Each structure stands twice: as structure tokens, then as C-alpha cells.
Structure 1
Amino acid sequence: MTKKILVLGGAHIDRRGRIFGDTAPGASNPGSWFEEPGGGGFNAARNLARLGFDVRLISPRGGDAVGEMVAEAARQAGVDDRPFIFLDRKTPSYTAIIENDGNLVIALADMELYKLFGPRRLTIRAVRDAFDEADLVLCDANLPSETLTAIARKAASCGKPVAAIAISPAKVVRLLPCLGDIDHLFLNEAEAAALTESRPEDPLQWVENLRAIGLKGGVITRGQREAIAFTADEIISLQPPTVENVADVTGAGDSFAAGILSGLLNGLDLSQAVRHGAAAAAITVQSPLATAENLSPELLNAMLSLVPQSKMLS
């Protein structure tokens, strides 16, 4: 039977400007402009749907043309889109400037609408049913802290595992009140530092610091250095594969999370699930889009041949 995933989080418009040549700070830079639907939860939802899961997405959205673009992108990816639409508001947006090599220069997030997605929305019958039917609940830190806490506690009360995407150092702290109810948190070093108020060099210390504030399990990505994944009783490292022809790193973390969750839901242990995450991220960064439209279980399995075996650290 196909596993069902409930995603609650960001689904908005991503606008990206790419600089053609060397970046000149404080000056006009020749480049091009591109926009597409995005958001941490939405990117992960599309990736998981393309990997064969039954995905339902619930997110706040404005009653504008941008909201319609998001809905169409969800439909094309096979996501069951169930938004809360605020007809008099605009859909949130994320605007980024990307260097010629694909790295981020700076970004601006206009996410005020997400504040209207309060805990009371979870009491609606259709939302309660979605929790009951899900095999996994995934949220992202675009939502208010009190809503994230309500999501995690509701999922825990239903006996459903909870995963979360950190989004940014400024937003990940919204998860602090509910860390103990989260089974898998996906974050990078900057986000881990914001949570723990520390920045150790030793990867094992990252895990110790996160466990100390109540987190049961998670994955810390560290750029081209080894990613660190952990549960309550194991710690694993994985060297990301070298990827040629990087088109855009936008969405890589979201696909990494989706790949790992797909592996876990398919019965893999953490050491193998992390390799699936790395393979999904490698496919994504070769695409100019935040999610690779050609992502499939078959392509993911083919990419695994380029991903090294993970290592047990503890």
C-alpha cells in the first residue's frame, strides 16, 4: 500500500536572479530573472510525490495569480493540494540573488501570510482526518512557533512520526518548544548553531549539543563536508558525492530531506536512507529548478552508484 504523507508548511513563489559574470557587490550586475513555485514544505512534497508517495499539502495561500501558479505546480507533481486561501492577501514570496556558480548571495523572504496559519486551523475536520490517515507528518519552520508545536503534539498524539525542515537560522528557533516531539529535523550548520548557540568543529559535538536540547534525531548538512545523521542511539556520517554541472543549489536541502524520508518509509535503515537523500540532492542541483522534474525512483536508484557508503561514528 502506498504510504501517505501529510505536509504542512511553505508553498509560495521563488524568484531568483542569476548573475552572469563575477559578482560586483554594491553595483549593478548583468543577469537574468526567473521565478517558480517553491517553499521548503512544497519542494519536499513535490519530491516525495515524484518518488511514488501519496502526498497531501496544507498551506496558507493568497487569492492571487501566484497562488494559482503554486496550485498548478502541485497538480503537475501529483500532490493533493488543500490550501487555506485568504482571498484578500498575497501569496508569500522568496527572492534570491544567485552567483554565476550557483551559490546564494542574498535573499529576502516576504512570509507575513504564514502568521495567519494558527493552531486553530488544525481543529478543522478535514485537517484532523489528514493527520489520522498519514503515515508521516512533515512540517517546516515557515509556520508560527505555536502552530509548529500544535502540529508536532497532534502528530505525536496520533502516534505518527514527525519530520521538520529548518528553513533558515532565523526560523529554526521556532521549533525549540516542540523539539522533543520531532523525530527527524533537517538542518544545516548555521541552523544548528542558531538552535544550540554553539558552533563546534567536531561533528560528534553537533549531535551532543542537539540531543542536549531535546532533539531525538536529525540530519546536519555541511556543504561539501560530511553530512551527519543521528537517532537516539546512532550517529552516521556521509560524504556527499561530487556533482558536475551544478545548475542551481536552490532546493537541494529539501530534496535531501525528501530522499531520506523516502528511504525510511520504504524500510531502509538510517545509513542507507541518508544515501538516498544525497542522491536526491545530487539530482536536484543539476536542475535549474528547485525540484527536478525528472526525479523518479528509477533515477534515484541510478544516482546511488555515485554516492559513497555512509560511516558509523557511534
Structure 2
Amino acid sequence: MSGIRPADVVTFGESMVLFQPMSDGPLAYAPLFTRSLAGAESNVAIGLSRLGLRARWISRLGTDPFGDFVLATLAGEGVDVSQAERDTGCPTAVYFKEFKGYGDPNVYYYRKGSAVSRWTPDHVDRSWFEGAKHLHVTGITPALGPSTADTVRKAMTLAREMGLTISFDPNLRRKLWSEEQARETLLSLIPLCDIFMPGLEEAEFLVGSRSEEDYGAHFLTMGASAVVLKHGEEGSIGFTPLAAVRVKPHTVKHVVDTVGAGDAFAAGFLSAWLTNAGDGDEPRLSEALERANLMGALATQYRGDWEGLPKLAEVERLLAGSRETTR
């Protein structure tokens, strides 16, 4: 384990370079763009790092300037990128957002043939998880290439063998694969996780229409020891075999962009859940869900997937109802 930094959480997936128009309107007529970084797993890693946890990000990138940018940005946020691989024959993925002034932005991916899409189970290595406590994965990575689902499955299996706990956010992306393939693959990964974190619509997609309580009970019987249901404007509800806790949302007056809100929610939940392991299930769930709801709400207040994510001191002030002195 020499030379490998300890990690509270390992994340595992693709990050892309994001281009956003500087003004609203059709993408075809946008003259100027800003450049940023985007990816569910790296969003979570940055969120965790800002909340005081040590995060390690596992991925593959091209040997292009975009890959350099991704690594530099994450390293600048304190994320351990030492296990990220570079591929000389495949590019770093990019994507574009289109804002038309109403509703969620349109998203256009250019990730086919990317370095991550070539991931195979042979790439999975024990060094990814050495010195780590927890692995966080999403349902995006299994959809990216012909062998990426098997790669995720092997990574989850190896992490569990090495004593890590695992969280799994299905993070359904319908544009990336068929509904049948998505449902079959995502359901097969639930027994490999300890914390399952679907949105209400994702839960319905996976097992049909049920009550929230039935969703919690069903996913617990599949093997998860904690189930977290995200319910947007209605807040969230968490289940363990010993407790069920519902927490009201942190309300905001105006939503700018919902992309990245689920990743912020995951970072908030994990940051509290993993650091309060000695508490009972009910108080542990309550605190984790409160922080998760706040993080998710704050993420809707700015463009970009992670730039506005708060640090721990700000989260604690907001949850306590106080405001920072600014002048």
C-alpha cells in the first residue's frame, strides 16, 4: 500500500468536459461557451472533499488536453486522482448543455468510444481500494461500453471482499441504453451494495408502482442494509431494517439547473452517514437525510454540476439556521 493515500470514499466512473453556452437559447446559435468538468462520480468526490472527507476518483481519460484539465481540476479540489489511467488511443468524453430559459437543460453527450467505454474487468485492480473504507458507484458507468457493466460488477465484488462498504445510485440515463437492458443490469447490482439510493421515479422504473414503504422493504430484501429514496420537492425518506425516517426538503425559491442535484444529495448523505456510524439508525438517518436534502437543494441554484457545492462549515451554518458574516 506504499504511496497510496488513504481514502474515506472511492468513486468510480467517467468524467467529461462540459461546455455551456454563456447565454440562453438554441445551442446551434451559441457563439461563446464556458468550459467545466462534469461527471456523477467526480461530482460526488468533489462534494465529499469539500465536506472534509478523503475522496479517491478512479477513471480512464485520453492523453489529450481535456484529460489534463479533468485531472488538474479534481486534484485542485483535493481529490486523489493517482489511480486514474490514460489511454493513448481513446479520447476524453465531452458534453454540452442547452438552456432555453424554461425547464431543465437539454444535454448532448459525445462519449461513444471514450477511454472509459473501453473499460474491461481486467482493468480492475486491488490498488483501487487499498486504504479505503467505502466505494460509491452509479448506474451510468455500466451503460458506457460493451464490458463496463461487468467491470462495475467486478469492482463492487472486489471492494466488498476487501472490506469496503458500497453505495449505489442508479442514476438512470435513458439515452445511453435500452430500458430492458438498464432494468436488468441495475437490478443485478443492488445485491452487491450496502446503501441503495434511487429517486422515486427510478424505483418505479425498476420494480413498478408501489408505496414508498414497499420500495424500502423490497430493496432491503434484495440485500441493501439501507435504502434512501429521493423525492425531490417532497424531501427524502430512508429505511433500514430497524428504522424508517422521512425528512422534509430544504426549499428554494428558484431553480436554476437540476443537473448534479442527485450527486450533491449523495455526497451530503454519505458524508454524514459514514462519519456517524456509532449512532442509532434513526438519528443517523435523520442527520444524513437533512444534510443530503440541503446539498441537493443548493445544487439547483447554479449552472454547472459542482462549482457551487458548499464546504462543511457552510453546511453546518445553514442547518443551524445562521448566516455567515460577509461584511
TM range (shorter): 0.7 to 0.9
Tell me whether 266-275 or 101-110 shows the greater mean CA deviation.
Answer: 101-110
Aligned to 1:49: 49
Local SS of the residue matching 2:252: coil
Once the two structures are superposed, the pairs formed by residues 176-191 of structure 1 within 5 Å of their partners are 176-191=187-202
* C-alpha displacement of 1:69: 1.6
* C-alpha displacement of 1:255: 0.7
CA contact (8 A) 1:256 1:280 kept: yes
Which one of the candidate residues 214, 219, 242 is aligned to 1:210? Answer: 219
Aligned to 1:282: 297
Once the two structures are superposed, the pairs formed by residues 97-112 of structure 1 within 5 Å of their partners are 97-101=98-102, 103-108=104-109, 110-112=111-113
* C-alpha displacement of 1:284: 2.1
Q: Does 1:89 align with 2:86?
A: no
CA distance in 2, matches of 1:188, 1:55: 24
Aligned to 1:157: 161
CA contact (8 A) 1:169 1:194 kept: no
Local SS of the residue matching 2:124: helix
CA contact (8 A) 1:5 1:53 kept: yes
CA distance in 2, matches of 1:111, 1:191: 24
Aligned to 2:137: 139
CA distance in 1, matches of 2:28, 2:18: 21
* C-alpha displacement of 1:213: 4.2
After TM superposition, the runs of 4+ consecutive aligned structure 1 residues lying more than 4 A away are: 27-33
CA distance in 2, matches of 1:186, 1:19: 34
Which one of the candidate residues 218, 235, 245 is aligned to 2:244? Answer: 235
CA distance in 1, matches of 2:187, 2:171: 14
Which one-letter code corresponds to 1:41 in the other structure?
E
User: 1:107–1:139: structure 2 CA closer, same or farther, 3 Å change rule?
Assistant: same
CA distance in 2, matches of 1:50, 1:3: 14
Aligned to 1:221: 230
Which one-letter code corresponds to 1:110 in the other structure?
R
Counting matched residue pairs gives: 295
Which one of the candidate residues 119, 133, 146 is aligned to 2:121? Answer: 119
* C-alpha displacement of 1:33: 4.2
Local SS of the residue matching 1:224: helix
Tell me whether 297-306 or 42-51 shows the greater mean CA deviation.
Answer: 297-306
User: 1:229–1:15: structure 2 CA closer, same or farther, 3 Å change rule?
Assistant: farther
CA contact (8 A) 1:19 1:29 kept: no
Once the two structures are superposed, the pairs formed by residues 31-42 of structure 1 within 5 Å of their partners are 33-42=33-42
CA distance in 1, matches of 2:297, 2:203: 22
CA contact (8 A) 2:43 2:305 kept: yes
CA contact (8 A) 1:253 1:281 kept: yes
CA contact (8 A) 1:15 1:33 kept: yes
Tell me whether 156-165 or 251-260 shows the greater mean CA deviation.
Answer: 156-165
The two structures have a TM-score, normalised by structure 1, of 0.83
Which one-letter code corresponds to 1:91 in the other structure?
T
CA distance in 2, matches of 1:233, 1:107: 43
CA contact (8 A) 1:182 1:217 kept: no
User: 1:236–1:189: structure 2 CA closer, same or farther, 3 Å change rule?
Assistant: same
CA contact (8 A) 1:261 1:273 kept: yes
User: 1:227–1:158: structure 2 CA closer, same or farther, 3 Å change rule?
Assistant: same
* C-alpha displacement of 1:277: 0.9
Aligned to 2:145: none
Deviations along 1:232-256, one digit per CA (max 9) or x if unpaired, are 3322222211113433222111010
Aligned to 1:295: 310
Which one-letter code corresponds to 2:291 in the other structure?
H
Local SS of the residue matching 2:171: coil
User: 1:96–1:230: structure 2 CA closer, same or farther, 3 Å change rule?
Assistant: farther
